[in-house]
Structure 1
């Protein structure tokens, strides 16, 4: 069994593989480290690129495009390792980036998942939107990070270089113990993409596990390589999956009140898009709520199972305030300002 399996999920990303896979190969050298590319039935030359240009990389050919969540579930059925690193195809890694992660995990068996510090590939002195220096959520399920609150992305001055427990680790570079990943059911394939790693991390927390960000390890993420920001499909998946995540994981005493407030906030978001003249995203939010209502019953068993297995009511990194109120009304622009409230 390998020590670490780096698994890169790919779909029609031949150019990304050529650009970023070399850094993964040179920066991830070490005993017991193996690199895999799991291909989601690409129609470009991705598989040929891996086979001809990167012969030491293991290629897992999936028979169809399963999306991000189920794609990783299918890929990890083909892998045996103590730790797996789920790594986006548009990530450039630094030298020996795995060492701080594996050493910390080895020394802290109570920690089952972690992430490095995520900086922007385009602006290497700035945090990257998807993950930054560790993720959290507010009372109503809105995610934010050390280094990023809504659209406010900070420059990295070492202000978040401490190792801290976080609520969620980004799926762009998520290291997790493979046995625990399988034990809790992995990513929810029905999400397809977006919010699936936060849902997984919530399940881990509720079962008593810990997740941390280790800023000593640094990677650089392009971000938005598959679906650009404010793409209606991305808006739909984010809103729908966020509601499903809340339904699956919220304690019974909070479910009704939180979902009532979320309904109001979602329709406010839809109106905001409409006022901007963005009818596509307006309809995406409405469609997300409609589909959530239509398929919610399919997740009842998951909710019951999660509540039964929960050993922790107040999970680390789920704040009781509204990040919308704190950021948009009170003007809290950074995580440091937010925690001084």
Structure 2
């Protein structure tokens, strides 16, 4: 009788040992999966599972503090913007050959980028989508820092809430530098961009509007062109985002920037030279001031944007003129695409006792 009981003990011991080993194996497997996901770059995590990121990013709580404003305040569809989430799939709008041609990029140690985003009274969902699309679709090794400048927004807690939100998303896992700046009073987009560029430490500076969505592969074509000429300033083709439907559409690569004698910016028809393809980079007299990229050192050497210009308007033409006079050049690169909301009129106020035309054309004569 005792022998039979002793024969059962080894089997129970083996069972307990196997159960213990299996539980340890399961624990290690779960731990490794968790660690491997944490080490996946941010852009891959976003693409991995948007539904799971909706909960992790907690973006709905962040945008819930958006001030209640009428549709006329933002001049785009705020309700629709609030439902789109932090990132969405965008159509590929560049020529198919852009994604297949190998690019000769300088190493990140010699070609990292500081991104300056200045904003005034931007809706939280729109600003957040601008930031997340940038982080998700930009090579981490080349993205050096993000500088956000709040130019006197009425949403007084936005910047601090954004700082906490981004700190919760990134923690100490990412090398991306973050700077959050707030103007004590309304200084204007031009002054704010100069401030951001003066504090930047990347080799290149990108000025980006706060109502944009960057598309896949936007940075590499710009870096390739800048590596060929340190005195070049480049701009992507801007894909229009409809302010009412927020539909993302293909921009026209057969347009270049120009201006009239009243110093108003206009898009001009581009004439292709013999054997020139529409998807090739091309020279342009001017560019839209909202989105451009150039050497930070070269930008500061040129004096940045004219500090006597007020609020917004004319800065791209003024910078283009300085580029020409000092041996620089402007190129638009069709293989780089960034979506931008083109509102039908100004969504912000101009200084007291001044109108848009006076502000736009204000230059101090020396």
TM-score clears 0.5: yes
- C-alpha distance after superposition, 1:193-248 (max 9, x if no partner): 1111211111111122111000100011012398249x998xx7653356456xxx
CA RMSD of aligned residues (A): 3.1
Matching residue of 1:5: 114
Given that 1:39 and 1:47 are in contact with CA atoms closer than 8 Å, whether structure 2 keeps it comes out as yes
Given that 2:138 and 2:218 are in contact with CA atoms closer than 8 Å, whether structure 1 keeps it comes out as yes
C-alpha displacement at 1:127, in angstroms? 3.4
Report SS of the residue matched to 2:235: strand
Q: C-alpha distance in 1, partners of 2:216/2:160?
A: 27
Matching residue of 1:207: 326
Matching residue of 2:195: 74
Report SS of the residue matched to 2:308: helix
The equivalent position to 2:296 in structure 1, one of 169, 178, 196, is: 178
Structure 2: tracts of 5 or more residues without a match? 1-108, 171-177, 271-276
Q: C-alpha distance in 2, partners of 1:237/1:187?
A: 21
Q: C-alpha distance in 2, partners of 1:300/1:199?
A: 13
The equivalent position to 2:285 in structure 1, one of 142, 167, 173, is: 167
Given that 1:114 and 1:213 are in contact with CA atoms closer than 8 Å, whether structure 2 keeps it comes out as yes
| CA 1:237–1:185: 2 relative to 1, 3 Å | farther
Say yes or no: does 1:16 pair with 2:136: no
Larger-Rg structure: 2
- C-alpha distance after superposition, 1:262-291 (max 9, x if no partner): xxxxxxxxxxxxxxxxxxxxxxxxxxxxxx
Matching residue of 1:43: 154
Say yes or no: does 1:144 pair with 2:266: yes
Q: How many residues align?
A: 233
TM (normalized to structure 1)? Answer: 0.60
C-alpha displacement at 1:109, in angstroms? 2.8
C-alpha displacement at 1:4, in angstroms? 0.5
| CA 1:110–1:18: 2 relative to 1, 3 Å | closer
TM (normalized to structure 2)? Answer: 0.56
**Deviating more after overlay: 210-219 vs 57-66:** 57-66
**Deviating more after overlay: 97-106 vs 45-54:** 45-54
Runs of 4+ in 1 over 4 A off after TM superposition: 241-245
Structure 1: tracts of 5 or more residues without a match? 149-158, 246-298, 302-341
Report SS of the residue matched to 2:163: helix
